[in-house]
Structures are given as structure tokens and as C-alpha cells.
Amino acid sequence: MDQRPNPDPGSKLPRTNLLLGGLTIGFVALAALFAKDPWGHVAPPQNIPLVDAKFLETTPWRRTYTDMVKAKEDMSDYDCYGCHEKNKPPPIRYDAKGKIVIPKEHSNIVMGHGSHDRNDLCYNCHNEQNLVTLQVRDGRELKFDNIPPLCGSCHGPTYRDWENGAHGRTSGNWDFSKGESTRLSCANCHNPHAPRIPTREPAPGPHPMRSAEKTSALTPTHH
């Protein structure tokens, strides 16, 4: 009779070692495979381009009368009575289509306030009785260094947004009680004579956590 010997309790040990050895070899082999990356599933390191410096530019687009005075620039354009006579408001001339004619002495001015030239009349803003001031709808006379209330007299809602910091740009402290804060004048961004702001290219959005090739189809091309 062929009788198998009783299993020796000591013989369990070599079988366990064999198993552990096998597992170790298996894991080492896997680690080597992953390191070699034969399937190419590991995303290549992303090359995230820096945002073009033009998007970080904080200099206002326009310089106002106030900025020019501060920088001691040539103010001859504002010397209205160097050319005009007191108490003789310059007459406004129109062409056959009813469009305002700009004299060559003021050829630096291109009028285009609103679609259909709705606010191109000089004396809607300039004071014909005193050319060196601006006139507001309610009769107030303003100096050239105080433009926002002039604009606000016709653009009430935008003016109130601006006053509260929702339109235009506030620099410094947002909490006015914590210290100084400055607000750009309307004329730092809008040309009073032609206030529409030209369309600008938007800055690129945040970079997604995906490789460049996979997202390239979603990213708009920049010129």
C-alpha cells in the first residue's frame, strides 16, 4: 500500500518562502515595467508658457489733463483763449449730412461719441461762456481736472458703479477705511471725444491639468 507520509509541519516553511520569492520577483518585474513605461501612459511633463507680459501691463491706456499737468507736459491745447476770443463762443459748423466739421486747428480730435454720433456736440461738455471749463447738465461748471461728474451727468448708472468700485479700476485699499485708494478717471480709459473702447484680445484662461497635445484642440490659437 502506497501510503503518503504525514505532512511534516516543517515543510510549510519552504512553500511560504517560494510564494514570497515569487511575489517579490513579480513586483520587481512590474516596477521595472512601469519605470520603462512601454505603454506611454505617463503624461509628459507640461510645458506651460508664461502669460504674455502685455496682459500684466497696468499703465492706464490714456493720459488725462491731470496727468499731463503733473508731468509738466505741453498744455497749449488747453490754452483755449490763446486762440479764441473771450465772450465769442466759436461757432459749430456742420457738413451737408449734419455731421460736425472739425477745424484743422483741432484735427487731433476725432469725434465719435456713441453710435450715430449721438453726443458729438462740443457744448454738451465744453462751456461756451468759458471755454476753459466743462459744463454739466445741472448747470455746474467743472475744471478739466474733474471729469467724472461731467460723464456722470449723462451716464448715471455707470457713474454710480464707478463710485462704488464696480466700473473702472480701483488701486490701493478696497476697504476705504484701511487707507488710501485711488480710482482712475473716466478719461484714463475713455477718450471723451470717442469713448468706445476698442475690442481687445482676451488673456488665455488657466492651464488645465492635462498634457499639451490633448488640450491643444480645446485651446484657441493666439496670434
Q: How far apart are CA 102 and CA 93, in angstroms?
A: 8
- Residue type for 97, please? K
- Least distance from ligand HEC to the Cβ atom of residue 222, Å: 20
For position 189 contacting ligand HEC by CB under 6 A, the verdict is yes
Nearest to 145 by CA among 74, 63, 214: 63
Q: Which of 83, 110, 166, 203 binds ligand HEC (CB under 6 A)?
A: 83
β-strand pairing of 170-172 with 141-142: unpaired
- Least distance from ligand HEC to the Cβ atom of residue 87, Å: 13
Cβ closest to ligand HEC, residue 36 vs residue 88: 88
Q: How far apart are CA 152 and CA 159, in angstroms?
A: 5
Q: Which of 40, 82, 206, 220 binds ligand HEC (CB under 6 A)?
A: 82
Within 99-158, the residues that bind ligand HEC by CB under 6 A are 100-103, 105-106, 108-109, 111, 113-115, 118-119, 122, 124-126, 131, 134, 144, 147-148, 150-155, 158
- Residue type for 75, please? M
Task: Give the number of residues in contact with ligand HEC, rule: CB under 6 A.
Answer: 59
Compute φ and ψ for 66, nearest 5 degrees.
Answer: -60, -45
Assess contact for 81 and 132: CB atoms under 8 A: yes
Tell me the window of 22-30, 38-46, 96-104, 209-217 that interacts with ligand HEC (CB under 6 A): 96-104
- Residue type for 70, please? K
Q: How far apart are CA 10 and CA 117, in angstroms?
A: 103
- For residues 16 to 55, the per-residue mask of contacts with ligand HEC, x marking binding by CB under 6 A and - elsewhere, is ----------------------------------------
All residues at 6 or more sequence positions from 76 whose CB lies less than 8 Å from its CB, including other chains: 82
Q: How far apart are CA 213 and CA 21, in angstroms?
A: 42
- Least distance from ligand HEC to the Cβ atom of residue 146, Å: 9
Contact residues for ligand HEC (CB under 6 A)?
64-65, 77-80, 82-84, 90-93, 100-103, 105-106, 108-109, 111, 113-115, 118-119, 122, 124-126, 131, 134, 144, 147-148, 150-155, 158-159, 162, 167-169, 184, 186-190, 192-193, 195-197
